[in-house]
Amino acid sequence: MVLRFVNANGNTHYDQETIKELLRYEVGFLVCAAIGVVYIILMPLVGFFLACCRCCGNCGGHMYQRQTKAVDCHRKGFYWATLLTTLVILAGNICMFYSNQSLEETVNNSSVELNNTLDNLQAYLEAVPMQIDSVLMESNKMVDSVNKSLSEIGPRLGRVIQRDIEGPLNPALGSVKDIAKVVNSTNILLVRLNSTLTQLQSDGPALQSNIRSVRDRINTTLRNPLCVGCDPYLSEPQKLNFDITVTIPGLSNLQSVVDDVTMSDLQSKAKEGEDFFASIPQTVTNETKDVVQNVQQQIEDIKIKISAVKGQIPIGALNNVLNTLGDAKRYIGMYSPQVQTAELIRWAVCVILSCVVLLVVVCNLLGLFLGPMGLSPQDDPTERSGTANCGGTFLMASAGLSFLFSWLFMLVVVVLFLLGGNFYTLVCLPWRSGQLLQIVDTPGLIPGINLGEMLGLKRNLTITEIYSDCEQNRPLWTTLHLYEIVNLNNLLNVSQYTAEIYQHFDSNEIKLSTITLLTPEILKQLQSYSDMANGVDFSNATQQINNISNINVNETAKVLEHLADMQMNPDIKANLTQEAADLRKIQSDIETTIIPQLTQINSSMKSLNVIMLQINGTVEDVLSKVGFAQDFLNNNITQIIKADSKVFLECQVGFFTAYADWANLTITQKVGLCGPVAKSVDSAEVIVCKNMAESLNAFWFSLGWCLIFLIPSIVFSIKLAKFYRQMKHSDVYDNHITMHTIPRAQAKPY
């Protein structure tokens, strides 16, 4: 109806129809206003005629009160009616003071509350671009993280490759180092053994020559005919026939193989393997240097494309709203002093109106208080006390004040009723129900407002839809239908950015230098070493050592010394004694020279024997582990590098995917939750309607309440006043008959 009235465009007939409908809509207000007009007209007329009538002695103007049996009942009835009416008026008057004060506080605080509401709305609108910037800033963090990972691709990817090959490689290198230690130990033992054997071979022949010389001399002496008792001991020199040499079969062959293995330097081979393993990260860095630079440049391009998302979101429309809010705040600050001044005047006028009504109430209460206090029912109406007369006068004063001001106050009530009531009906109720926003959404009603066109949407966007979505605290993405102008899925489509990255990595192949852990020649040498170790027999040498260790020529020396004691020939005796001494000297040389060498030879053989018993399994372990590691490197290293590179690349691409999903979710569901907008609109409705309009309506309603009840108050107070005022004419009514005693006849004395 309002829209038709506004859009009449000068059509008189249409305007008349609209006006008729508007009058039908306003019929309730018009009836109430008509009642107010009747009140305004009749109240002063009735008061005027009543005053004239009383001046003429009528309408209670004649100061005479007839005293009847019901006079007390009438007085009490009018008293309680007047008191009840006065209390009703007092209640309305209290509401007048309260609503006036509430309206004053609301108006005085409205500028602050409106500014706070606008500040909240402004803060919300300013936060939206910041939230979008925050989302886009996360892209910078994501890009920086990917760039850092790519810059550290050598340590990162290289370590992954190392973990995949260290399983077979490390045991192989460990076994090579172990066998190198074994070979080195074997070589040391062989060198020591050969040195001792050489020393034994150099000392043995001289010792054997001495023994043969002594044996020959002993044999000559025992066969001398002059030797007494020597024949039984002719076989004794044969005991001095023994060999002091030790031979170990296959030892030279083993030494030759050990020398060959030692010359191959297994420790350096293990070191080469370790260097190959440690160089993988640097190799990956060198091999991927160019592709990393290309990918990083492409990532910077991706960063620029993602940053362009903000440019496609119509943030400028929010700036226009911010400017409008700034203008609104400026106008509020500009007109607030004037509004407060006008409010002060309004408040003073309303206080005066309330005080006048309160004066009427006070007059009634004084009359109701002083009248009964100074009244004595047995007194003649012309002889009533001044207190009772004063009470009646106050009651008449309240009636006079009511006639004097009520019609003027009713004029205020009618004006405020038409303004406040229509404002509440036409603005507040539609505002609360949402109809007001539908009216504002009417095309052409407010020129220049087309939210859909401002945002570049394909269709118009209504304020009602925005408010409805904001009531549910929905994001701006769905509230403003930004998906119609921004293809976020296309902008955040990671595949279009990452396909080229995959292509760069696929075109670049990381090649590690080939490595041969052990050459076939070294493997053959190790096999020979194992075979030769099994071919060395230390049992014969041990037996030889035991035989040499058991040599004891001192027994023969004792026999010779015994024979020497039996000889009579000094030459024979001297020869036997000398030969016994030579044997003891030979035994001493054996114990001091030969036996330590034999002990050392035996110790070396035992150590070598322990190694030889284990060397077969050790070499087989080395050959097995080295062979497995070599086959693994030859057959799988390329696939491992490709697989690990793919995993590394997918991890980096995962950053983009995770960011894209998060950014899409955040922008479409979390950025710009517009609940504050609906709350701001609701806050404005509370300030304007719930506080201002309802306080204003409460004031005129309370005043109208008082004015309506002034009518019975006038009637009751005028009626009651005559029971308290001092009358000029007396009318006494006795409610009992005085009985006089009839005199008796008395007899006269006669």
Give the angle 433-439-443 at the CA atoms, nearest 5°.
Answer: 150
Give Cβ neighbours of residue 9 (< 8 Å, ≥ 6 apart): none
Note whether 637 and 236 are within 8 A (CB). Answer: no
Measuring CA to CA, how many Å separate 337 from each of 26, 27, 111, 691?
35, 38, 10, 20
What was the pLDDT predicted at 190? 81
Q: How far apart are CA 39 and CA 698, in angstroms?
A: 20
The structure tokens listed for 272 are 């080469």
Q: Which residue intervals of 375-518 are DSSP H helices? A: 386-416, 422-423, 429-433, 435-440, 451-455, 463-471, 476-479, 488-491, 494-507
Sign (positive/negative) of CA torsion 393, 395, 396, 401? positive
pLDDT at 657: 79
Is the distance from CB of 201 to CB of 644 less than 8 angstroms? no
Low-confidence ranges of the chain (pLDDT < 50): 12, 733-750
563, two tokens: 């024979």
d(CA 10, CA 630): 101
Helix axes 266-278, 251-264, angle to 10 degrees: 30
- Report the percent of the chain where pLDDT is more than 70: 86
Identify the pLDDT of residue 380.
60
Amino acid in position 495: S
Report which residue type is found at 210. N
Residue 36: how many other CB atoms lie within 10 Å:
21
Dmax (CA) for the chain in angstroms is: 243
Closest CA to 489 of 477, 499, 474: 477
3-state helix, strand, coil in the chain (%, to 5): 80, 0, 20
For 57-85, what is each residue's pLDDT tens digit? 666 555 555 556 656 787 788 889 989 99
**Cα–Cα distance between 46 and 54 in angstroms, integer?**
12
Predicted local distance difference test score (pLDDT) of residue 459? 64
Residues in the chain: 750
pLDDT given for residue 737 in this prediction: 40
Burial of 227 (0-12, 13-18, 19+ CB in 10 A): buried
Asked if 500 contacts 298 with a C-beta cutoff of 8 angstroms, the reply is yes
pLDDT at 5: 61
How far is the CA of 560 from the CAs of 133, 211, 221, 234, 577, in angstroms?
Answer: 118, 15, 10, 11, 7
Cβ 372 vs Cβ 723: under 8 Å: no
| Beta pairing partners, 64 | 729
Return phi, psi of residue 443, to 5°.
-60, 130
Task: Tell the residue number behind the tokens 């009417």, with chain if given.
Answer: 442
Report whether 517 contacts 630 (CB < 8 A): yes
- Residue 636's identity, in one-letter code, is N
pTM of the model: 0.64
Rg (CA), the chain: 66
Residue 229 DSSP code: T
Q: Which of 727, 726, 717, 729 is nearest to 89 (CA)?
A: 717
